[in-house]
């Protein structure tokens, strides 16, 4: 392929493959992507490697070939006992890792221009986890791994990658390209669906030279647009995707409309690092209807030298009519996520012409469903004659499994629609109040997400219809490699970081809700056992607390994972109508019944029947409140587990509370309808709190919490000077920013330390979540850790753990969450590595995907490359204490602390 200055690039067809090796679904983020070999050493292609999958427990290198369409099919038919393996190990036997090696050939032009820059390459890896490019003789070079688009997410741009060493301008240069390939059940499915027992990875690879001029480039696939209804924008948020293909930094200073009647305002200044992609966000306002088919805008950029230039962008407009849209047609809307990131969702109007605001229907799509370009999801939801149906994107088609930012996107979409409807006369009467409870539907990953959202925010749910939903990620495949080496106590601590995802632990919160569980009897993607087990646990809790359960299990025999009538059938429609129109389907009058509220981290859970857990006694443990109302005498019997503080809203008459045997008399006339109870620190008895004080934010229990942010995630690669050299720290920041954009459509701002904490900007930290990338010796990291707010801190330039000095291996990486220096509701992440190998290790643990066992602070050393999570324990000796790793620590000590532990 030809590219910049007539350089030529060839990707050879023949590939080497090493594998298969057993693997947990997310274990590759701990292991070296080149497992089991170290790419810093010469590769012996005649050697065999241990693997329990092969005859005589050894595997060797084999061959595969790249197709003309750029597809690598990786299978191991020589493993003759796949069927036997799965009969004893189940789906876990199918999960495996393989290492692939190919060759890139770069040929220079006949006459290279004097002083020309070496070419960059664009790499698009789909359904592979990582790739790296190395010289044929790397001479100890540490590989720089880039995450692939393992989910084959829509609208993902290729990575712009610098070659590890500049190619020879006078002769052909060769490079190795390595791919870490993982077969995951959730991605590739059960091979029996294709009438074979042999699992096959299907990896797509595209490699080409960057041939565009070094300037800012419009990326239309990243644009965020709304439809126009009767000439007016269905939302005020718009965005334009731009990529900086220059080798210096650029800033976007203004955006202007060239379309009459339309005004645009830049939401915030945008800076782009070299090769970075960002969506420039702006608000749109109109003084007249727009009937043109394009919106013409001009974006002005400024280089580091202050030189300005402009790029003209045309955005295609889709027009819709309010009257005609009532025929079950979806409308694309936008809102600002975190006040700055333009985000899409779909809204389907009620088919009737009612003048009453009914609760909306919220429908969560399955994994891999692109609601913007695929119409089947909107068409599969039964039309409602009274309610709006809202289809959030989850940020992408996979998102974060409807947790964290994906869950927030769902609620934000529901709350954004009323503001849009209030401006449209035809629909103004159908608008509802922000915070209105919803009927929640979901399929597959969305079915699991429906369980998640409903059980964490039960008072925002009127009814729940989960279809083909799995219980949790751990229910798919257990640990494999790490399980053979990891200390059981450490494993318990690491896996406790997944507690917020354990839907089955929170089903106490749904025993009062109408629930219709749907599952196909022949589902080969999410086995029907998942639906039955969730239904069984829900019923068990209702028997345990005596609340009674209004839940039903609907099994569709001989149906698979997806079928068009999964929701659009008589039983589901009647169920929804019974909730939306209770007068047409009479139910018994509401009587307060016993219930149990379960929470883990209070900030991530809402209220149940007005009761809410505000603080827990011990972080990292479940908290529960069981309430037994005695309706006849106005007494609440309350039992608590691990609860320090809770609140109750809308108490209208005098009540007596028996809390863990303590009697507390309450008169709503004197105290108001909203009450807060707190356990006394000295007597341990409960008391009514009369002074309104907000609870301090709970320390996060896992790194994934970091993705929930109100603004762009700010990466600060620390440097010793003020140059913008493209070192490994900056490269890691750019790579992670790319991952956030591909996997979550989360915006990232990359800047250097002197721009934020230098002499001219001391104390001016961005108010959003911040990532510091540096070493133990960086003054900024030292000053942060010397505040002693975490179990890991700094004393006299040495790391300490709970006040004890620790020595760490040079290749050990540390990642931890820290309180934001100036903003209480934001976080700071420290990524500490004293060398490139250490930073690469922790870079792979940045919380891009769910199911990775990463508490809010973690150390990973050299052994993680071969032992996975088991390598966490082997970070070095405790100085003067003879302790290895984290042995003896409990779950709560892995959570970020606001104060130094006792």
Q: Is 496 within a domain?
A: no
pLDDT of 890 strictly over 80:
no
Contact assessment for residue 309 and residue 214, using Cβ atoms and an 8 Å cutoff: no
Q: Is 331 within a domain?
A: no
Q: Same domain for 139 and 222?
A: no
What DSSP line would sit under 484-505, residue for residue? GTS-HHHHHHHHGGGGGG-GGG
For 773-811, what is each residue's pLDDT tens digit? 999 999 999 999 998 888 888 988 888 888 888 878 888
Last residue of a domain, one of 305, 320, 335: 320
Q: Is 402 within a domain?
A: no
pLDDT of 895 strictly over 60:
no
pLDDT of 291 strictly over 50:
yes
**What's the whole-number mean pLDDT along residues 273-278?**
94
The CA distance from 394 to 696, in Å, is 29
Contact assessment for residue 245 and residue 239, using Cβ atoms and an 8 Å cutoff: no
For 356-376, what is each residue's pLDDT tens digit? 889 999 999 999 999 999 999
pLDDT at 757: 72
- Neighbour count for residue 199 (Cβ, 10 Å): 26
Q: Same domain for 666 and 714?
A: no
Contact assessment for residue 703 and residue 498, using Cβ atoms and an 8 Å cutoff: no
- Neighbour count for residue 408 (Cβ, 10 Å): 19
Cis, peptide link before residue 49, omega less than 30° from 0: no
pLDDT of 521 strictly over 80:
yes
pLDDT at 873: 60
Contact assessment for residue 411 and residue 339, using Cβ atoms and an 8 Å cutoff: no
Q: Same domain for 194 and 240?
A: no
- The percentage of residues in the chain with a pLDDT greater than 90, rounded to a whole number, is 65
Spatial neighbors of 39 by CB under 8 A, at least 6 apart, are 132, 134, 138, 143, 178
The CA-atom distances, in angstroms, between 229 and each of 266, 318, 323, 533 are 23, 9, 10, 45
**What's the whole-number mean pLDDT along residues 325-343?**
89
Q: Same domain for 707 and 645?
A: no
Contact assessment for residue 641 and residue 492, using Cβ atoms and an 8 Å cutoff: no
- Report angle CA 212, 214, 218 to the nearest 5 degrees: 65
Q: 827-846 b/e with 16+ CB inside 10 Å = b? A: bbbbbbbbebbbbbbbbbbb
Q: How confident is the model at residue 762 (pLDDT cuts 50, 70, 90)?
A: low
Q: Which residue has the higher pLDDT, 592 or 848?
A: 848
Q: How confident is the model at residue 260 (pLDDT cuts 50, 70, 90)?
A: very high
Enter the DSSP assignment of 712.
P
Helix axes 728-744, 836-843, angle to 10 degrees: 10
Spatial neighbors of 307 by CB under 8 A, at least 6 apart, are none
For 231-248, what is each residue's pLDDT tens digit? 999 999 999 999 998 888
The CA distance from 431 to 358, in Å, is 8
Q: Is 147 within a domain?
A: yes
The CA-atom distances, in angstroms, between 564 and each of 520, 666, 773 are 12, 53, 48
Q: Same domain for 673 and 799?
A: no
Count the residues in the chain: 902
For 52-72, what is each residue's pLDDT tens digit? 898 889 999 999 999 999 999
pLDDT at 523: 94
* Token pair listed for 733: 């920041």
**What's the whole-number mean pLDDT along residues 29-49?**
94
Q: Is 828 within a domain?
A: yes
* Token pair listed for 295: 């919106």
Q: Which residue has the higher pLDDT, 78 or 157?
A: 157
The CA distance from 384 to 347, in Å, is 12
The CA distance from 734 to 538, in Å, is 44
Q: Same domain for 186 and 226?
A: no
pLDDT at 797: 84
Q: Which residue has the higher pLDDT, 91 or 404?
A: 404
Among 391, 331, 427, 430, smallest CA distance to 567 is for 391
- Mean residue pLDDT of the chain comes to 88
What sign for the dihedral angle of Cα 62, 68, 72, 74?
negative
For 201-222, what is each residue's pLDDT tens digit? 999 999 998 876 778 899 999 9
Q: How confident is the model at residue 441 (pLDDT cuts 50, 70, 90)?
A: very high
Range of the domain at 183: 4-211
Number of domain units in the chain: 4
Q: Same domain for 621 and 711?
A: no
CATH code, domain with 253: 2.60.40.10
pLDDT at 546: 67
pLDDT of 100 strictly over 50:
yes
pLDDT of 283 strictly over 90:
yes
pLDDT at 48: 95
Contact assessment for residue 829 and residue 708, using Cβ atoms and an 8 Å cutoff: no
Q: Which residues pair with 652 in a beta bridge?
A: none
Residue 882: burial class (beta carbons within 10 Å; 0-12, 13-18, 19+): exposed
Q: How confident is the model at residue 444 (pLDDT cuts 50, 70, 90)?
A: very high
The CA distance from 22 to 868, in Å, is 12
Q: Is 592 within a domain?
A: no
pLDDT at 326: 65
Q: Is 14 within a domain?
A: yes
pLDDT of 151 strictly over 80:
yes
Q: Same domain for 190 and 266?
A: no
Q: Tokens 């029996």 sit at which residue?
A: 192
Q: Which residue has the higher pLDDT, 859 or 118?
A: 859
Last residue of a domain, one of 628, 658, 688: 688
pLDDT of 107 strictly over 80:
yes
pLDDT at 557: 95
Q: Same domain for 674 and 741?
A: no
Q: How confident is the model at residue 878 (pLDDT cuts 50, 70, 90)?
A: very low
pLDDT of 671 strictly over 70:
no
**What's the whole-number mean pLDDT along residues 517-528?**
95
pLDDT at 252: 94
85-94, 157-166, 272-281, 654-663: lowest mean pLDDT where? 85-94
Largest CA distance in the chain: 94
Q: Which residues pair with 103 in a beta bridge?
A: 176
Residue 297: phi and psi, rounded to 5, are -135, 160
pLDDT at 885: 36
For 456-513, what is each residue's pLDDT tens digit? 999 999 999 999 999 998 887 766 666 788 888 888 888 899 999 999 999 999 999 9
Q: Same domain for 749 and 795?
A: yes
pLDDT at 891: 46
Among 157, 161, 158, smallest CA distance to 177 is for 161
The CA distance from 747 to 799, in Å, is 32
The CA-atom distances, in angstroms, between 784 and each of 757, 773, 817, 819 are 12, 13, 11, 9
The CA distance from 832 to 834, in Å, is 7
Q: Which residue has the higher pLDDT, 695 or 842?
A: 842
Q: Same domain for 760 and 739?
A: yes
Instruction: Estimate to the nearest angstrom the gap between the alpha carbon of 180 and the chain centroid.
Output: 21
Last residue of a domain, one of 320, 349, 374: 320
**What's the whole-number mean pLDDT along residues 136-143?**
89
pLDDT of 578 strictly over 70:
yes
Residue 701: phi and psi, rounded to 5, are -100, -5
- The percentage of residues in the chain with a pLDDT greater than 70, rounded to a whole number, is 90
Contact assessment for residue 475 and residue 435, using Cβ atoms and an 8 Å cutoff: no
**What's the whole-number mean pLDDT along residues 657-677?**
82
Q: Which residue has the higher pLDDT, 215 or 546?
A: 215
Q: Is 571 within a domain?
A: no
Q: Same domain for 667 and 809?
A: no
pLDDT of 720 strictly over 60:
no
Among 151, 57, 91, smallest CA distance to 480 is for 91
pLDDT at 358: 94
CATH code, domain with 742: 3.30.379.10
């Amino acid at each position: 392929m030809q590219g910049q200055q007539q350089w030529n690039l060839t990707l050879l067809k023949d590939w080497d493959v090493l594998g298969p090796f057993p693997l947990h679904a997310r274990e590759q983020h701990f292991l070296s992507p080149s497992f089991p070999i170290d790419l810093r050493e010469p590769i012996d292609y005649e050697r065999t490697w241990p693997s329990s999958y092969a005859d005589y427990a050894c595997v060797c290198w084999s061959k595969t070939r790249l197709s003309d369409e750029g597809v690598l099919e990786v299978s191991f038919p020589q493993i003759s006992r796949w069927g036997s393996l799965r009969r004893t190990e189940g789906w876990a036997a199918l999960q495996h890792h393989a290492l692939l090696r190919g060759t890139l050939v770069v040929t220079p032009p006949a006459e290279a221009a004097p002083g020309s820059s070496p070419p960059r390459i664009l790499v698009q890896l789909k359904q592979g986890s990582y790739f790296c490019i190395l010289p044929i003789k790397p001479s100890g070079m540490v590989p720089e791994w880039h995450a692939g688009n393992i989910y084959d997410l829509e609208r993902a741009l290729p990575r712009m990658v610098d070659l590890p060493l500049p190619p020879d301008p006078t002769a052909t240069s060769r490079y190795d390209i390595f791919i870490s390939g993982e077969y995951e059940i959730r991605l590739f499915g059960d091979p029996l669906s294709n009438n074979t027992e042999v699992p096959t990875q299907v990896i797509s690879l595209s490699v080409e030279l960057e041939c565009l001029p070094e300037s800012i480039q419009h990326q239309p696939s990243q644009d965020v647009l709304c439809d126009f209804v009767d000439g007016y924008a269905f939302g005020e948020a718009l965005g334009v995707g731009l990529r900086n293909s220059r080798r210096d930094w650029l800033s976007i200073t203004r955006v202007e409309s060239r379309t009459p009647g339309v005004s645009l305002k830049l939401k915030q200044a945008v800076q782009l690092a070299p090769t970075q992609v960002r969506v420039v966000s702006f608000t749109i306002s109109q003084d007249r209807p727009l009937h043109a088919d394009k919106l013409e805008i001009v974006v002005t950029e400024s280089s580091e030298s202050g030189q300005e230039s402009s790029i003209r962008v045309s955005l295609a407009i889709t027009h819709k009519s309010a009257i005609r849209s009532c025929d079950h047609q979806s409308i694309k809307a936008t809102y600002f996520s975190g006040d700055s990131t333009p985000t899409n969702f779909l809204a389907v109007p009620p088919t009737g012409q009612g003048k009453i605001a009914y609760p909306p229907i919220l429908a969560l799509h399955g994994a891999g469903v692109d609601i913007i370009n695929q119409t089947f999801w909107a068409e599969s939801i039964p039309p409602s004659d009274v309610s709006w149906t809202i289809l959030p994107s989850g940020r992408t088609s996979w998102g974060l499994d409807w947790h964290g930012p994906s869950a927030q996107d769902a609620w934000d979409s529901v709350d954004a629609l009323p503001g849009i409807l209030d401006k449209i006369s035809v629909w103004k009467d159908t608008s509802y109040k922000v915070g209105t409870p919803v009927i929640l539907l979901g399929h597959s990953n969305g079915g699991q997400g429906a369980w998640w959202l409903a059980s964490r925010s039960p008072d925002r749910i009127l009814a729940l219809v989960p279809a083909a939903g799995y219980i949790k990620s751990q229910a798919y495949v257990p640990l494999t490699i790490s399980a053979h080496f990891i200390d059981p106590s450490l494993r318990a601590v690491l896996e406790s970081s997944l507690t917020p995802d354990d839907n089955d632990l929170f089903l106490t919160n749904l025993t009062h809700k109408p629930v219709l569980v749907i599952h196909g009897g022949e589902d080969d993607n999410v086995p029907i056992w998942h639906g039955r087990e969730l239904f069984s646990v829900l019923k068990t809790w209702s028997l345990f607390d005596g609340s009674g359960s209004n839940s039903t299990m609907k099994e569709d025999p001989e149906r698979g994972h997806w079928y068009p009538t999964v929701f659009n059938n008589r039983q589901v429609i009647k169920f929804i109508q019974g909730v939306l129109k209770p007068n047409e389907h009479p139910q018994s009058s509401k009587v307060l019944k016993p219930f149990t509220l379960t929470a883990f981290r209070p900030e991530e859970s809402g209220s149940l029947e007005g009761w809410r857990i505000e603080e827990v006694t011990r972080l990292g443990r479940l908290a529960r409140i069981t309430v037994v109302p005695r309706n006849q005498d106005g007494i609440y019997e309350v039992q608590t587990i691990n609860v320090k503080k809770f609140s109750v809203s809308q108490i209208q008459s005098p009540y007596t509370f028996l809390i863990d045997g303590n009697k507390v008399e309450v008169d709503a006339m004197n105290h108001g309808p909203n009450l807060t109870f707190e356990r006394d620190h000295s007597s341990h008895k409960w008391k009514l709190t009369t002074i309104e004080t907000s609870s301090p934010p709970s320390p996060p229990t896992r790194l994934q919490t970091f993705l929930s942010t109100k603004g762009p995630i700010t990466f600060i690669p620390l440097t010793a000077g003020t140059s913008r050299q493209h070192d490994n720290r900056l490269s890691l920041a750019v790579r992670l920013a790319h991952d956030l954009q591909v996997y979550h459509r989360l915006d990232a701002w990359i800047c250097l330390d002197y721009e934020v904490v230098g002499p001219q900007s001391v104390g001016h930290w961005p108010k959003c979540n911040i990532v510091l990338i540096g070493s133990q010796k960086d003054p900024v990291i030292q000053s942060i850790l010397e505040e002693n707010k975490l179990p890991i801190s700094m004393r006299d330039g040495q790391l300490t753990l709970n006040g004890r000095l620790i020595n760490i291996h040079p290749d050990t990486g540390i990642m931890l969450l820290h309180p934001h220096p100036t903003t209480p509701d934001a976080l700071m992440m420290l990524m500490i590595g004293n060398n490139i190998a250490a930073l690469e290790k922790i870079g792979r643990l940045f919380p891009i995907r769910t199911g990775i066992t990463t508490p809010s602070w973690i150390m990973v050393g050299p052994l993680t490359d071969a032992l996975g999570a088991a390598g966490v324990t082997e970070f070095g000796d405790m100085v003067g204490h003879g302790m290895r790793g984290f042995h003896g620590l409990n779950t709560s000590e892995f959570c970020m602390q606001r104060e130094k532990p006792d």
